[in-house]
Structure 1
């Protein structure tokens, strides 16, 4: 086999590999999440609220169609839709309250360089210096 034939064979192999690499592309590229997932209690209340709101919307549609068809079922469906709307409002407020409670309990990151911590340390030191001979804090 001559040098020219070897060169063309190796170029063909390189070209074939390049074509295979060009054809193989992953379907997706994983990227790190920009937002963390919701805490479990908040996620539970959000799913609960979503289900309640979905059922309420379905009930409202059924009530509307029953009213248009002048069915006997229209009045009970309208009453249950009103009650379900109250329940859906409670579900959405529950998500907001659960999220706020979780943030207040677990959302604060305490670091040694925190301003609040250094202020507390200074106050504690001032109390020890100023109140060495006192029996009470009055």
Structure 2
């Protein structure tokens, strides 16, 4: 098995640093998402991982200039997408992180993800992340 294939497979297993997300139900999660970031799409997810992407220092600087950090979200269970872009049960891979607050709100340039229940922190290469396509 190639190194990239092994790395991608590791992204889908349930190993990693355990992290707790939002610990209430879907109704409370949706209310929290609405109150936290009004006027932008939100997505409630379960079975999630925050992945630190291994990028060069120059790329980190470039991301920081744009107000971003080298982290992406992968979730294998979309609960709800406010704009209907994703359906319940779909999976999602986000773009780079703009902010991460309250231990469960992962914000990208366009979407706020509310991380429900337990999740993981992992690390991966850019190549492995790009292998996960929608």
TM range (shorter): under 0.3
Q: TM-score, normalised by structure 1?
A: 0.20
Length-normalised TM-score, structure 2:
0.20
Which protein has the bigger helix share? 1
